[in-house]
Structures are given as structure tokens and as C-alpha cells.
Amino acid sequence: MSERFHIVGISGSLRKHSHNTQLLHNAAALLPEDFRFTLADISVLPLPIRIWKVNCRSGEAVCRAAAFGEWLLISSPEYNGQLSGALKNALDWASRPALQTPLAQKPVALMGATPGMGGTGRAQVGIRSLLFALNMDSVNRPEFLLPQSHTKFDESGALTDPMAQQIMQQLVDNLVTKIKKHANEQ
Ligand code: FNR
């Protein structure tokens, strides 16, 4: 079956053995056959603070996602109770050009992993208000917070916690449903 839909994953962590990046790979394995998954490399995006006229370079997956209609799946760590600077920078890039952001109305789902006890709950509150500011169409349920993430994966990077697997499956299913509904309406 050819892949009709392309989901771009954004990990808010640039750490080599990131639990959030592992979570995205686990979620990608749950997608139906007609979906393709790309993990965006947001480490290449320079800080645009000095450039007012930021233009999405089509070479960057996160910009391509914004510009050419793909859908987003975000997994974020929690840094000092908020989202990471790398994730905010990536979404700022993808939010351009101003007032015509290609992110508007685009389905997006959110999850997060941390070795801490809070499961990135505080960060996700901030990220959801950012997605609202970007006028994105967020999957609001289930909320997927993964605490003590260092105990939840095996050596191969597979998620081992049954409750987390169940919630992630539900999140992926709800994102797929929203994407297909959007596609049928266009
Ligand atoms: C953290 N970490 C952290 N964790 C948490 O649960 N709440 C927090 O507020 C913070 N604050 C924080 C600040 C900074 C600057 C760093 C570098 C880290 C720990 C963080 O969740 C941990 O590094 C995770 O492993 C990040 O996810 P990845 O890299 O495994 O995907």
C-alpha cells in the first residue's frame, strides 16, 4: 500500500540517547501502513533571533512539515518546568512567515518523557498554549506523560511499560483519525 500520509516527528531533546526520541520511534512503529514517518533534525536550525525575515529552508524536515502539509508528532523533555529551547526554536522556525504560518489548523499530538517524577506535565501545559498560539489542531486526549523514563525502555529502545504502551497507542490512533478527517475535508 503506498503511503498517503507523512508524519514528521520532533524531539525536543538533542541528547544522543534521548528518551523522547526513543518514544517517537516507538510511536512511529504503531502507525498504519499508509503513513510514513520522518524524524526532523532540529539541531541544524540556527537560532533565528537575529533574523526578522526568517524563511523556512525547504531542506529542513520541520520546515517541510510546516510548508508542505505534513503532520506533527512532538515528544518533549522538561527543562526547568518548560519546553526545551531547541523545541521552541524549531516551532518558531516552522511558524514563519508571520500571519500565514503553514502550521495553522495542522493536526499535532504531544507526549513527553523525563526521568523525573512529573512526566513533563509542567512543560506540556506551556507547549499546549504554544500550539494554541500557532493555531494548530491539537490532539487533546490522552495526555501522555512518561515519568521515570530511564526505567521504561529496554536495551533496544523499546517501550516496556504496558500502561505507557496503551496510552501511546491511543494517542497515535487519535492523531491518525484527526489527520484522515482533515485530509477528507480538504
Ligand atoms: C532537566 N531535566 C528536568 N527534568 C524534569 O522532569 N523537570 C525539569 O524541570 C528538568 N529540568 C532540566 C533542565 C535542564 C537544563 C536539563 C538539561 C535537564 C532533566 C531532563 O528531563 C532529562 O535530561 C531528560 O532525560 C530529557 O529527556 P531526553 O534527553 O532523555 O529525551
- Strands annotated E in 5-129: 5-11, 35-39, 71-75, 107-113
Determine whether the shortest distance from the Cβ of 15 to ligand 1 is under 6 A.
Answer: yes
pLDDT at 25: 98
pLDDT at 58: 47
pLDDT at 153: 98
**10-residue block means of pLDDT along the chain (186 residues)?**
84 97 98 94 75 56 70 96 94 80 90 98 98 96 98 97 98 97 85
Q: How many domains does the chain have?
A: 1
Determine whether the shortest distance from the Cβ of 115 to ligand 1 is under 6 A.
Answer: yes
Helix axes 121-133, 85-94, angle to 10 degrees: 10
Q: Rounded distance, CA 147 to CA 103, Å? A: 29
Determine whether the shortest distance from the Cβ of 20 to ligand 1 is under 6 A.
Answer: yes
Range of the domain at 136: 5-185
pTM of the predicted model over 0.75: yes
| Structural contact between residues 73 and 22, judged by C-beta atoms closer than 8 angstroms | no
Find the CATH number of the domain harbouring 115.
Answer: 3.40.50.360
Please tell me what DSSP assigns to residue 152.
Answer: S
Q: Which atom of ligand 1 is nearest to the CA of 118?
A: 6
pLDDT at 50: 56
pLDDT at 53: 57
